[in-house]
Amino acid sequence: MTDDLTSNPLADDKLREECGIFGIWGKPQASAFAALGLHALQHRGQEAAGIVTYDGEQFHIERREGLVGDIFSVGGPVENLVGAAAIGHVRYSTTGGSLRRNIQPFFADVADGGIAVAHNGNLTNAIALRQRLVRNGSIFYSTSDTECIVHLVATSPAGRIVDRLVDALKQVEGAYSLVALTRKKLIGVRDPLGVRPLVLGKLDGCFVLASETCALDIIDAEYVRDVKPGEMVVISDEGLQSYQPFPPQRPRFCVFEYIYFARPDSLIDGLSVYDVRKAIGAELAREAAVSADVVVPVPDSGVPAAIGYAEAARLPFELGIIRNHYVGRTFIEPADHIRHLGVKLKHNANRGQLKGKRVILVDDSIVRGTTSKKIIKMVRDAGAAEVHMRIASPPMTDSCFYGVDTPEKKNLLAANYTVDEMCRLIGADSLNFVSINGLYRAMRQQKRETATTRYCDACLTGDYPTPLTDRDGESQGQLSLLAQA
Amino acid sequence: MTDDLTSNPLADDKLREECGIFGIWGKPQASAFAALGLHALQHRGQEAAGIVTYDGEQFHIERREGLVGDIFSVGGPVENLVGAAAIGHVRYSTTGGSLRRNIQPFFADVADGGIAVAHNGNLTNAIALRQRLVRNGSIFYSTSDTECIVHLVATSPAGRIVDRLVDALKQVEGAYSLVALTRKKLIGVRDPLGVRPLVLGKLDGCFVLASETCALDIIDAEYVRDVKPGEMVVISDEGLQSYQPFPPQRPRFCVFEYIYFARPDSLIDGLSVYDVRKAIGAELAREAAVSADVVVPVPDSGVPAAIGYAEAARLPFELGIIRNHYVGRTFIEPADHIRHLGVKLKHNANRGQLKGKRVILVDDSIVRGTTSKKIIKMVRDAGAAEVHMRIASPPMTDSCFYGVDTPEKKNLLAANYTVDEMCRLIGADSLNFVSINGLYRAMRQQKRETATTRYCDACLTGDYPTPLTDRDGESQGQLSLLAQA
Amino acid sequence: MTDDLTSNPLADDKLREECGIFGIWGKPQASAFAALGLHALQHRGQEAAGIVTYDGEQFHIERREGLVGDIFSVGGPVENLVGAAAIGHVRYSTTGGSLRRNIQPFFADVADGGIAVAHNGNLTNAIALRQRLVRNGSIFYSTSDTECIVHLVATSPAGRIVDRLVDALKQVEGAYSLVALTRKKLIGVRDPLGVRPLVLGKLDGCFVLASETCALDIIDAEYVRDVKPGEMVVISDEGLQSYQPFPPQRPRFCVFEYIYFARPDSLIDGLSVYDVRKAIGAELAREAAVSADVVVPVPDSGVPAAIGYAEAARLPFELGIIRNHYVGRTFIEPADHIRHLGVKLKHNANRGQLKGKRVILVDDSIVRGTTSKKIIKMVRDAGAAEVHMRIASPPMTDSCFYGVDTPEKKNLLAANYTVDEMCRLIGADSLNFVSINGLYRAMRQQKRETATTRYCDACLTGDYPTPLTDRDGESQGQLSLLAQA
Amino acid sequence: MTDDLTSNPLADDKLREECGIFGIWGKPQASAFAALGLHALQHRGQEAAGIVTYDGEQFHIERREGLVGDIFSVGGPVENLVGAAAIGHVRYSTTGGSLRRNIQPFFADVADGGIAVAHNGNLTNAIALRQRLVRNGSIFYSTSDTECIVHLVATSPAGRIVDRLVDALKQVEGAYSLVALTRKKLIGVRDPLGVRPLVLGKLDGCFVLASETCALDIIDAEYVRDVKPGEMVVISDEGLQSYQPFPPQRPRFCVFEYIYFARPDSLIDGLSVYDVRKAIGAELAREAAVSADVVVPVPDSGVPAAIGYAEAARLPFELGIIRNHYVGRTFIEPADHIRHLGVKLKHNANRGQLKGKRVILVDDSIVRGTTSKKIIKMVRDAGAAEVHMRIASPPMTDSCFYGVDTPEKKNLLAANYTVDEMCRLIGADSLNFVSINGLYRAMRQQKRETATTRYCDACLTGDYPTPLTDRDGESQGQLSLLAQA
């Protein structure tokens, strides 16, 4: 395991959610609401954003790299995105795929009119589908799996555009929550397993779709309910209709949405994300108690679990590490300076709270372990007497193929080392992960049982709920012969 | 006919050629040669340019708005366009179609590999083709007719990519010279009528294709021959093969390439463009002699004809109008200033050569007549005693549908007025156009005969050499529902 | 008091620190260290940043609007900023003064060589000085008070550049911490009152100057000591020399650096900022106890005081408000939507922690009161049973003239209303500010005494430690006749 | 003499005029007129442009790199340049001095108000003045000699701003035509020798100043007269006043304005530039007759002289070389290609007019000789039987210090070789320059006499009309210690 020698703050040791989606129907200036909703979903993707609107005659599109607030602020392109219907997308791209032409939503003129699609998730048979579509004459303009869905819609023999979309989705495997916009409808769908979230809200009588409830809050929309796994909601001027086009399946919602991805003020499937995280911290305190002076979160994601831990352990909670929220890009590491400043771009020790103390550090997860090692060193350099690391998730042993950018298994620390070995590698005095059953208890389940779990925890258990056609398939070749200039 | 009240220098009264194309095979740093070639073809399109290269593994593309010298200069994207094969395109877009996504070349991953296409001309059944393709599931990303060709290639049942291209071209009507690049071949084709030019050259043993010979000259390539109407040349590492995939037809090369579009130093079909223009001027002098003191060209396009006229008429040739070559965009017309400064952004009277003189003004054509009127006024204001306008083309009475941006017939001066009326409208003392037979004589023909003419002169005669399916078809609907944001 | 009707997140109700400064001498790639240091000081100014380096022959400068991480990242201009000596500046501009030409550091070629200056603070006789300088022929290129210092240096009759700087500073009134760079020296100075902070550090034997210790931490520099009020440190290849060029005065360090401006992990004058803030919270808990269920900070600035309050009051501390750290610019407020979404761009209620609870909200200060009102409404809308507002500073009754962007007195809530009135205006069930003596106790003083206080608390007391020449002077006229185009 | 191996079209072998200036008073939307005027003067400087306006309360400025038509077109900054008074400047910078901060006009707030200055010419004692000013405390922000004038105005003990300007100009040596704008006046001045042009015009009763008459023509302003050498015209709401603040001197107008710099449609000192150029061609035909088939200009600057030559020699005039007016930047020269394509970016042989012919090539001047060599080779490669080079100026043997970018003497071909040697070096069959007396005759003088010549022809004769203080002075040191980042 080699160290990370750059000071790229984006190179911290976190998973990356790939997308957030939003849709609204029947509301004048729909793009302004979409921009606000996407701003609230920005934590799900910071690389690029896009909005498509329909004004009754034409669709309008804007897709750019950057933050929502930079792209869609006053005076910007949002003013040209006219119309009372909109869908939007924020995106974090996987390595190597940060092509501008991959920015969503995608749009196509199909026989029946236009359709725009924005997608959160990942298809596990996208390459196989793409090969078949290209053989039949479809021309792909991106390397995104989402474009498969659009071509399946375009080439579907079905008549109405909704039927074409169902026809398309029946051919795909994997995880998807998606919103689609046609001239007459706003459509929201979750895959049969419901791996990714999607909620339904209402604003002044108009329906809203969003990845998380925090995107409803920002526009003062009322939360109605979660879209159900396998459900398709079709919103038009006639109101909302709900369909169940797929055979019923046991749902498998992603546990990492609770652990790390979702915003703490969001409510998923009736549970407060903040509460679940605090409960994980409390479970950890019970499972892995240790004599200490202070509980310190690795901010920001470790904060709720640390509050829960401190409360359960009756220890003081202190901000022993301060986070710098001004995002830097990759700074130059001065050549004679091999101290790996990277971590310090985001975090600094708050010495007064660490010096001479036995510190319990709480973080949400360990992926490669690089950041943990640096943070523990920083805390020790600040004078901590002991450093006990507590992780608010079970060990991550497997890659995700459902829309999260995970390293390959060989780069996951927990896939290659025992907890004792990891403890030594990161330099802690002790290291504990919450148990898988502790995690389930925090989610108000009794324990995990493979046969009945309603969550996707494949990254923690290797129990993948869908086929992985592309991963298990033949060598895949190049997605496109066209390189990015 | 209303006057043009803006000072947009692009609003001068000229036709717009829509494209120039270039290709080269087997030459390291092919993109640098393509950039030079496109620079020499810049007069064929100043709005945008693009280059695609193939490096043996991947294609590379760059397409942008702007001049070739700004896009592809040292330090710019040309340095990423690696490979020994390249095609390129310069473009002038028709009104309303200046979408960024219309910039060529187009690229597609098709079953057999990748293909890039650059096209000069215009298809007259593009809308009909598009409607059929969309019905079958093709997704269009531009509003360009050229994309039809790409989809026809992608969906062709033929096997090899060359056969697919032939299959595609057999379905299209209209005018096209095109270059295409695949992983193994550079292909050049002219439509069966050969409306648009395409020449073949050789540089250090490597084949080069270009719209005009001036693009060979700039890279010191040797002119080999014109690609023949209806010919497809397929260039690979094995050399060049010539095919004639279409049924033979009488060729119909565009007369306006001689009159205005082509660069005077280009050689088309064995004739020097400069010589033809001088010869037209000489014909005019014979057909429309007038007693005068000086022959003055409307620069730059009127210069060769004016030299020919002056020589034939034995009158002095003088630069009585000076052209400002620094292109301005649209300047603000000060509000209290209604003198229509527009024309002065490009032209200024050279008073010393005009004052008190009987002036013969020579221009290449009259389209709407707006510029002629202003120039004649400017020449009179400078003190000319008489102004005799001589036009080096017959009256333009019909629109072009073969890749030239012509106004609708109702806006063509000569379609609505007699020569006498036009003379009064533009304010000249006399006005003459060269006769159609005079034009043919200048091109070394005896005269024009409808049954045998080898030129397309539809804009002068209304004699269109192909069906005009889209023009004559049903209401065409919207090309795309997606507006440009 | 009118409401803020925009959704500009920058319009939150906070004071703005105007600057952070940094300097380093003798360290190759000095600009890379300066960029890191400025990144750590980004909270002191987010509008623009600049760095000047000296390479032994020439100075190099880069000043731009934007965040440090965007301006000085790898591949950017930092790579041209060569040399082993650097100074830098981050800036927040006052309203109307966001001219690009005001971005620091300033540079001048003076008789003795070049000098660059970066300044944190504000001169209170800048306009008077400027008028005198202009009368004598100095040409100002900015509207910044800092430029006065540069012109005073340039026109000083003194010989050496250090003497010129002392000469200049003896003529100015107000607050300044500044760093200056000449060909042979790095100079740091604090005004005689030491209103603004400046610390001295050491990295591998090289001296470093910075506004706060967090800028030393990020580059792993060791904290040496605070530069003393009225001290000038002159750093050269011969080491550091300390001067006391001004008559001794009782120091008056800004209390708001402790309350709000400085980063919690910084150490100022031996005191941890985080500790002071926690201690203020504890004082508040003692001074203004109330029966409640939960202590909730207004994030981020209210967090340490809330932790201190909760600890002292033995109440649970919860993140009842979640902050969105992705900064948006001004979003469009949809026209039919008069709910003042502004506050929600940054803050959202975490309902689960608020519903049905008696909530103690802790914030650092109230300026205009606009944000407090919206936040309290948001907390009530989320179901809070009671909302008790506790403010970790005494009421702000007066404007600051020492480098902080404060509203005019007429717009300060506490200057116009009693605490009871304010409570009603912001809609709280109770409102308490920490007492001035409580604040002093948190800073380890017994209490405040006007005659001996070593702090500037003019914004809380009206006790200004310097003359306010410009404020009290004649009408000031226009700083420059040149408007920004 | 080494060859030029780049394909930078700007590296052609021409002198560069450094500036054009324009001013207008009392005309609403003055900036729109200034933009048009500068567009007409674009040939005098293509690197950058600027406009300053005054609206009765404030000055407004915009200065940018680029062409006038790109900077000041509709929708651009020209719309913010409000006011009825404006001055403007176009600029070509000397090598190494293309600093953005050198772009004119310069502006200063001085005791009496604001003043903006735009300058065409070059001061020959600028460095000496600058050193004195810096010693006295002036801070320079550019490396331009023009800034000296501004500082001399600011520090002048005189009272009124006009008197300060006169005071300043009495201290400078060299060549200048300048326009200045204050709150109450538009001022135009030519240096006592009148080296650079400046004309006065009138538009609807408002006065206009411009470098050349073509800038009056474009806005339909009437030419009134040339500003006289040593004259200062002061234009205000009260009308125009003329001053002669300098002791009378024999004027010395730049001959190269006639030969190359000015636009052919401009009138200078009563003479048509076009007529002078034709007359030089006729002189050449008489002085250097040769048996030939065709006269071919090197376009565009050689055209009028070639017309004059052809007319006098009774030979056909033909465009044997075609110029590409689309300016490219520096294209990449493919590595295996050592043919020096550079010249072809601008010029191409028109083979039909050259093949087998004895060609007389007419160009305006030879500076380094690099382009002549390439053009002659190109003409020979096109099949010319003989190439006779005729140059419409005497041999250039000395550098210009009056505002023209000339190579150092050691790089001037004619300073180092005899005409015969030059003929061999450029590869011509014969080479002739017009004689100095021939040039004077073309300007309607009998002949040149050192004691009485009213022209500056120092570049042809070494007879400099002013001291060259900086050139002859001590080592000059660095103009600024601040490098461009």
Task: For residues A190 and A230, give the distance between their C-alpha atoms in angstroms, rounded to a whole number.
Answer: 5
Task: For residues B216 and B33, give the distance between their C-alpha atoms in angstroms, rounded to a whole number.
Answer: 10
Which contiguous run of DSSP H or E holds residue A31? helix A30-40
- Kindly report, residue by residue over C254-293, the tens digit of the pLDDT: 999 999 999 999 999 999 999 999 999 999 999 999 999 9
Question: Searching chain C, which residue's CA lies closest to the CA of residue D150?
Answer: C139
pLDDT for B2 beyond 50: no
pLDDT for A6 beyond 50: no
Q: Do C141 and D141 touch (CB under 8 A)?
A: yes
A96 in contact with B at a CB cutoff of 8 Å?
no
Answer yes or no: are the C-beta atoms of B26 and B239 closer than 8 Å. no
Report the residue from D77, D109, D482 with minimal CB separation from C485: D77
E-strand ranges in C129-243 read: 174-182, 186-190, 199-203, 206-210, 222-226, 232-236, 239-243
Give me the pLDDT at residue C277, please: 98
From residue D137, give the alpha-carbon distance in Å to each of C60, D36, D111, D131, D168. Answer: 22, 39, 16, 10, 17
- Kindly report, residue by residue over B274-300, the tens digit of the pLDDT: 999 999 999 999 999 999 999 999 999
Look at residues C157, C138, C156 and name the one whose alpha carbon lies nearest to residue C147.
C138
Q: Do A334 and C264 touch (CB under 8 A)?
A: no
Task: For residues B423 and B373, give the distance between their C-alpha atoms in angstroms, rounded to a whole number.
Answer: 9
Look at residues D363, D349, D355 and name the one whose alpha carbon lies nearest to residue D431.
D363
A79 in contact with C at a CB cutoff of 8 Å?
yes
Which one-letter DSSP state was computed for residue A310? H
- Look at A285-299, C48-62, C154-168, C471-485 and tell me which has the smallest mean pLDDT: C471-485
Candidates 3.40.50.2020, 3.90.600.10, 3.40.50.300, 1.10.340.30; CATH matching B271-457: 3.40.50.2020
Report the residue from D60, D139, D183 with minimal CB separation from C154: D139
A267: which chain C residues are within 8 Å (Cβ-Cβ)?
A: 351-352
- Kindly report, residue by residue over A69-111, the tens digit of the pLDDT: 889 887 777 888 999 999 999 998 653 355 778 899 999 999 8
E-strand ranges in D28-84 read: 48-54, 59-65
Task: For residues A206 and A22, give the distance between their C-alpha atoms in angstroms, rounded to a whole number.
Answer: 13
- Kindly report, residue by residue over B332-351, the tens digit of the pLDDT: 666 555 445 666 888 999 99
Question: Searching chain D, which residue's CA lies closest to the CA of residue C112?
Answer: D135
Task: For residues B475 and D13, give the distance between their C-alpha atoms in angstroms, rounded to a whole number.
Answer: 58
Name residue D243's beta-bridge partners. Answer: D232
The b/e string for C144-173 (b: 16+ C-beta within 10 A; e otherwise) is bbbbbbbbbbbbbeeeebbebbbbbbeebb
- Look at C221-230, C464-473, D427-436 and tell me which has the smallest mean pLDDT: C464-473
- Kindly report, residue by residue over A209-267, the tens digit of the pLDDT: 999 999 999 999 999 999 999 999 999 999 999 999 999 999 999 999 999 999 999 99
D65 in contact with B at a CB cutoff of 8 Å?
no
CATH architecture observed for domain D274-324+331-456: 3-Layer(aba) Sandwich (3.40)
Task: For residues C424 and D74, give the distance between their C-alpha atoms in angstroms, rounded to a whole number.
Answer: 52
Which of D51, D222, D332 to mutate to test binding with chain B, by most B CBs within 10 Å of its CB? Answer: D332
Give D406's pLDDT tier (boundaries 50, 70, 90): confident
More confident residue, C80 or A2: C80
Give me the pLDDT at residue D109, please: 94
- The most distant pair of C-alpha atoms in chain D lies apart, rounded to whole Å, by 72
D35: which chain B residues are within 8 Å (Cβ-Cβ)?
A: 331-332
Give me the pLDDT at residue D360, please: 98
Domain D11-252 falls under CATH 3.90.1660.10:
no
Strands A59-65 and A358-363, bridge-based pairing = unpaired
Mapped onto helix, strand or coil, the DSSP state of residue B393 is: coil
- Look at B392-396, C182-186, C403-407 and tell me which has the smallest mean pLDDT: C403-407
Measured in angstroms, the CA of C167 and the nearest CA of chain A are apart by 37
B111: which chain A residues are within 8 Å (Cβ-Cβ)?
A: 134-135, 137
Give burial (CB, 10 Å; 0-12/13-18/19+) of C433.
buried
Mean pLDDT rounded to a whole number for chain D: 91
Q: Do B272 and D350 touch (CB under 8 A)?
A: yes
Question: Which chains reach chain D with 3 or more Cβ–Cβ distances below 8 angstroms?
Answer: B, C
Report the residue from C32, C332, C352 with minimal CB separation from A334: C32
C154 in contact with D at a CB cutoff of 8 Å?
yes
Which of D8, D47, D217 to mutate to test binding with chain B, by most B CBs within 10 Å of its CB? Answer: D217
Where along chain D do its domains lie? 11-252, 274-324+331-456
Task: For residues C95 and C101, give the distance between their C-alpha atoms in angstroms, rounded to a whole number.
Answer: 15
Give me the pLDDT at residue A398, please: 97
Look at residues A324, D92, B55, D120 and name the one whose alpha carbon lies nearest to residue C214.
A324
Token couple for D179: 């326009």
The b/e string for B463-478 (b: 16+ C-beta within 10 A; e otherwise) is ebbbebbbeeeeeeee
Measured in angstroms, the CA of B84 and the nearest CA of chain A are apart by 15
Give D73's pLDDT tier (boundaries 50, 70, 90): confident
Give burial (CB, 10 Å; 0-12/13-18/19+) of D410.
exposed
Measured in angstroms, the CA of A138 and the nearest CA of chain C are apart by 38
Answer yes or no: are the C-beta atoms of B291 and B388 closer than 8 Å. no
Token couple for B285: 């002098």
Q: Do D272 and B351 touch (CB under 8 A)?
A: yes
Which of B29, B273, B332 to mutate to test binding with chain D, by most D CBs within 10 Å of its CB? Answer: B332
Give B14's pLDDT tier (boundaries 50, 70, 90): confident
- Look at B75-79, B169-173, B454-458, D454-458 and tell me which has the smallest mean pLDDT: B75-79
D113 in contact with C at a CB cutoff of 8 Å?
yes
Q: Do C481 and D81 touch (CB under 8 A)?
A: no
Domain C10-250 falls under CATH 3.90.1300.10:
no
Token couple for A314: 């009756």
Sign for the CA dihedral angle at D336, D340, D342, D347 comes to negative
Which of B7, B33, B36 to mutate to test binding with chain D, by most D CBs within 10 Å of its CB? Answer: B36
Measured in angstroms, the CA of B132 and the nearest CA of chain A are apart by 9
Mapped onto helix, strand or coil, the DSSP state of residue C333 is: coil
Q: Which amino acid is at B164?
A: R
What is the interface pTM, i.e. ipTM, of the complex? Answer: 0.93
Average pLDDT over residues A370-383: 95
Task: For residues B195 and B197, give the distance between their C-alpha atoms in angstroms, rounded to a whole number.
Answer: 7
Alpha helices in B288-339 (DSSP H): 303-313
C332: which chain A residues are within 8 Å (Cβ-Cβ)?
A: 29, 32, 35, 73-74, 78-79
Task: For residues C214 and C225, give the distance between their C-alpha atoms in angstroms, rounded to a whole number.
Answer: 13
C39: which chain A residues are within 8 Å (Cβ-Cβ)?
A: 324, 326, 328, 331, 345
Report the residue from C28, C35, C304 with minimal CB separation from A319: C304
Token couple for D345: 């970016």
Give me the pLDDT at residue A483, please: 81
Measured in angstroms, the CA of A93 and the nearest CA of chain B are apart by 21
Q: What percent of chain D has pLDDT over 70?
A: 91
A208: which chain C residues are within 8 Å (Cβ-Cβ)?
A: none
C319 in contact with A at a CB cutoff of 8 Å?
yes
More confident residue, A393 or B113: A393
C96 in contact with D at a CB cutoff of 8 Å?
no
Residue D164 phi, psi dihedral angles, 5° rounding: -60, -40
Task: For residues D351 and B67, give the distance between their C-alpha atoms in angstroms, rounded to a whole number.
Answer: 27
Q: Do B36 and D350 touch (CB under 8 A)?
A: no
From residue B424, give the alpha-carbon distance in Å to each of A220, B122, B419. Answer: 68, 35, 9
Q: Which amino acid is at D392?
A: A
What is the Cα A219 distance to its own chain's centre?
A: 21
C101: which chain D residues are within 8 Å (Cβ-Cβ)?
A: none
Give me the pLDDT at residue D338, please: 43
What CATH number is given for A16-252 in this structure? 3.60.20.10
Name residue A122's beta-bridge partners. Answer: A175
Which one-letter DSSP state was computed for residue D258? I
Task: For residues D360 and D350, give the distance between their C-alpha atoms in angstroms, rounded to a whole number.
Answer: 14
Give A328's pLDDT tier (boundaries 50, 70, 90): low
Give burial (CB, 10 Å; 0-12/13-18/19+) of C435.
middle
- Kindly report, residue by residue over C92-120, the tens digit of the pLDDT: 865 335 577 889 999 999 988 899 999 99
A272: which chain C residues are within 8 Å (Cβ-Cβ)?
A: 350-352
State the DSSP string of D274-304: HHHHHHHHHHHHHHT----SEEEE-TTTTHH
A141: which chain B residues are within 8 Å (Cβ-Cβ)?
A: 141
**Topology (CATH level 3) of domain B10-252:** Glutamine Phosphoribosylpyrophosphate, subunit 1, domain 1 (3.60.20)
pLDDT for A61 beyond 90: yes
Measured in angstroms, the CA of A95 and the nearest CA of chain C are apart by 19
CATH architecture observed for domain C268-461: 3-Layer(aba) Sandwich (3.40)
D420 in contact with B at a CB cutoff of 8 Å?
no
State the DSSP string of D180-220: EEESS-EEEEE-TT--S--EEEEETTEEEEESSTHHHHTTT
Q: Do D334 and B27 touch (CB under 8 A)?
A: yes
Answer yes or no: are the C-beta atoms of C427 and C3 closer than 8 Å. no
Give B102's pLDDT tier (boundaries 50, 70, 90): confident
Task: For residues D318 and B293, give the distance between their C-alpha atoms in angstroms, rounded to a whole number.
Answer: 20
A107: which chain B residues are within 8 Å (Cβ-Cβ)?
A: 482
**Topology (CATH level 3) of domain A268-325+334-461:** Rossmann fold (3.40.50)
From residue D125, give the alpha-carbon distance in Å to each of D63, D169, D470. Answer: 26, 12, 5
Name residue A296's beta-bridge partners. Answer: A361
Residue B414 phi, psi dihedral angles, 5° rounding: -70, -15
Which contiguous run of DSSP H or E holds residue C443? none
pTM: 0.91
Catalytic residue among C19, C206, C400, C456: C19
Give me the pLDDT at residue D4, please: 34
Give me the pLDDT at residue D481, please: 84
